[in-house]
Each structure stands twice: as C-alpha cells, then as structure tokens.
Structure 1
Amino acid sequence: MSDNQFKTKKGTFIIPILALLAIWVVYIIEIGFGFNFNKFGIYPNNIIGLRGILFSPFIHADIKHLLNNSVPLFVMLCSLYYFYHKIATKVLVLGTLVLGFLTWFIARPANHIGASGVIYFLVSFIFFSGIFRKYYRLIALSLAVVFLYGSMIWYVLPIEESISWEGHLSGFITGLVFTILFKKVGPQPEIFEFTPNEEFENLFDENGNYIPPEEFQQPED
C-alpha cells in the first residue's frame, strides 16, 4: 500500500470527537441532574448486566476517571481512523461488543464501567497490527503506542481492587484476536515487482561475478 493512501479522511477526527463528546455529555447529565448511571455498567453473569456492553463505555465514576480515559481514547481513535480507516468502524463496533461480553463472562460481580476496556482494545489492536503487518509506518505507530501507553500493561493484572482489570484484560485479548482476524484487511506492506533486465544481467557470469563491458564484448580478430 502506498504511503500517499494514508490521508486524513472525513471520519478521522469526527468519530473521535463525537466519542469524546458522548462520554462527557453523559457525565455532565449524571452530575447535573443527580443521576447514578453505574447500574448500567457490565454486571457479570447476569442477564440484565449484558446491557452494560452497550452503555458501560460511556459511564465514568468521577471526573478523574473521565479525564484519565479522555486523552488516550481520543488519540487511539484518531490513530485507528487515520491508519485503518477502511476497517475502523467495523473493528471498533465489533471489538467493543466482544470485549464487553468477555468482561461480562470473566469479571467479578460488580458494575464495570468506563471506556478503559475500549482503550486497551485499541492499544492492543494498533500495536499488534503494526507488528504483524510488517509495514514500516505501522511499526512506527506501534513503537509510538509502546512509548505513550506501554505502562498500561500492568493494569491487566489485579493490582488494584477498584480497577476493572478484567475489562482491561478483555480489551487487550480482543485487540490481539482482532489483529489476527483482520490481518489481511486494510493497509498492507508495499510489494515491489522488478522487471528482468537482460542487458544488466549479462554483466554477470553464472557465479554472479561482475564482467566489465570491455571484457564482456571482446573485439573480433
């Protein structure tokens, strides 16, 4: 795939901005009107708790939780829609559903809320996609992701009681699985094809040794 195909598309910033607005509007409504949306989070192994698969990414416990998720969510969504624009929406929607269901299946009995599961999914997908596709621009993006968010890997482990590490782990695993599923779709490394050049090839013998032109064409007696 040619580098000039990495261009800013209409959705590169629109979707990330809309996603950011959505989580902030939900929080403002919750605080402004005294609501508590935590009950709409993912509650594992409970049928009603399945609704959280759709709602939980938009719900945050407090302003610190919201701020911590806002910047990485925006950065990762912009990266997804810029570098993987042809599959971005499909990856985002399906990935959110799968990681949500996995969280519902494996997590502790509590309301799991926040966009961090989606963030871990995006970080995982973008990192592994760059490595698996072996395309230098995407590998550079993978390295940038490691530099910015590499320390996040520790939070897929149960190191803090109040953090939904199960949601983080679900997002990370889902991102890796989606990398494999979508490996052949989207940007691919550029393949160069060379046309045989007889004149050039005649400058070398069968062992690959160079034959200077004056030796190659001996004058006739």
Structure 2
Amino acid sequence: MSELDRRYAGRVELSRPGPAAVTMISITAVMWVVQFFNAAMGGALDFYGIHALWPSGLLGIVTAPFLHGSWEHLMSNSLPLLVLGWLTLLGGTRQWIRASLVIMVCSGLFAWTFSPPGSLTIGASGIVFGYLSYLLSRGLVTRRIRDILLAVIVFAVYGSVLWGVLPGQYGVSWQAHLGGALGGVLAATRLRR
C-alpha cells in the first residue's frame, strides 16, 4: 500500500453519489430539526439570523441558512437545496466545501449590507441561488461537455427561479439571492480545476 493509499484508507469520498446524497440529506435534516425547535420556541432562534447592518447580525451569515420563517419556507428550500447541493458535491468534496463557504459569505454579506437596516434575513435560499449559479457558471468556465450538459439541464429545471434575484416580492430577501448567485459565479470562476 502506497503512502497516499494509507493516508486516505478508511475515508469516505463525499463526492460519490451515495455519500453526497447522505451528506445533503443530513444537512437538510438538521434544518428540519432546527425548524422543529424554532417553531416550538415561537421563533426565538430567528434572533440568530442576519440583522442588516447590526454588527451582531454578522453571526447570522453562518446560522441564517439553517433558520426558516415557517414550515412552508423550509419546504420550498429543501428540495432545491438537496438537488443542487448534491450536484455541486458530485464535482468534488473540496470544491463543494469551498464553493459553499464562498456562497454563504457572499449571500450573507449582501443581505447584511443591502437589506433595510435592522431587517431580518433567514433561510437557505441564498445558498440555493449560489449552487444554481455555480452549476450554470461551471459549464461555461470549464468548457467540459459534462459540465455544459449539466448546466443546460439545471437551467431547464431551475432557471425560472433566477428572477428571484430581482427586488419586488415582499418578505423575500432578493439581497441574499443576488449575493448567493454572485457567490456561485465567483466560486465557479475562482475554484476551477
């Protein structure tokens, strides 16, 4: 057994379809558990969301994606997060971790900076928009047939949600959506292999 084989023996590569699915299902399950407790506590955990322009609101960049305003809000984010997160993770574990961090920070910073002062942003939709734009951009950046075909399929299925980056719908953080989408493009262009 080579040194490299010994170093990686016993590790599960998350970018294989099965482990990738388990990873995304686990993350989504954590969101559902958090929502259960948040609902039981009358939304008290929402305090840990992103409060625009409040220094303490910066913590929400990490915690807000796990918080949702209602069960319907969580349900609307769960399936796209599972699918797009899984497809992103299939591109490689390190790529997924890095892309997820870039997307989370961009989405959160946009919501914190550009939302009305003191307003609350919660939910995983910024991450969803980030994964969507990452997958679309990766096809253009890598120019690999596989990535281009995936981008076309993803656009056909989810492309209509891109309108969510525009202002207009009350109670929806277009700022988080736009920040996540820009983060996905940034991740695709900077993290190419």
Task: State the alpha-carbon separation in 1 of the partners of residues 56 and 132 from structure 2.
Answer: 29
Task: State the alpha-carbon separation in 1 of the partners of residues 54 and 94 from structure 2.
Answer: 35
State the match for 1:165 in structure 2.
174
Q: Which amino acid aligns with 2:132?
A: V
- Which residue among 125, 134, 137 is the counterpart of 1:116? 125
CA contact (8 A) 2:111 2:176 kept: yes
Identity %: 27
Matched, 1:54 2:96: no
Task: State the alpha-carbon separation in 2 of the partners of residues 34 and 105 from structure 1.
Answer: 27
CA contact (8 A) 1:128 1:176 kept: yes
Name the SS of the counterpart of 1:87 in structure 2.
Answer: helix
Task: State the alpha-carbon separation in 1 of the partners of residues 38 and 53 from structure 2.
Answer: 26
Which one has the bigger helix percentage? 2
1:161 Cα deviation after fit: 1.4
State the match for 1:127 in structure 2.
136
- Which residue among 37, 40, 57 is the counterpart of 1:32? 40
Matched, 1:182 2:188: no
CA contact (8 A) 1:9 1:85 kept: no
Task: Give the structure-1-normalised TM-score.
Answer: 0.76
Q: How many pairs does the alignment contain?
A: 178
Matched, 1:74 2:76: no
Task: State the alpha-carbon separation in 2 of the partners of residues 96 and 48 from structure 1.
Answer: 17
Q: Which runs of 5+ in 2 are unaligned?
A: 1-14
Matched, 1:148 2:148: no
State the match for 1:199 in structure 2.
none
Q: Deviations over 1:77-134 (max 9, x none)?
A: 1101112334111221232123212321222231000000000001001110012211
1:10 Cα deviation after fit: 6.1
Task: Give the structure-2-normalised TM-score.
Answer: 0.86
Moved more, 22-31 or 97-106: 97-106
Task: State the alpha-carbon separation in 2 of the partners of residues 35 and 160 from structure 1.
Answer: 22
Q: Which runs of 5+ in 1 are unaligned?
A: 1-6, 186-221
| Consecutive aligned runs of 4 or more in structure 1 exceeding 6 Å deviation | none
State the match for 1:97 in structure 2.
105
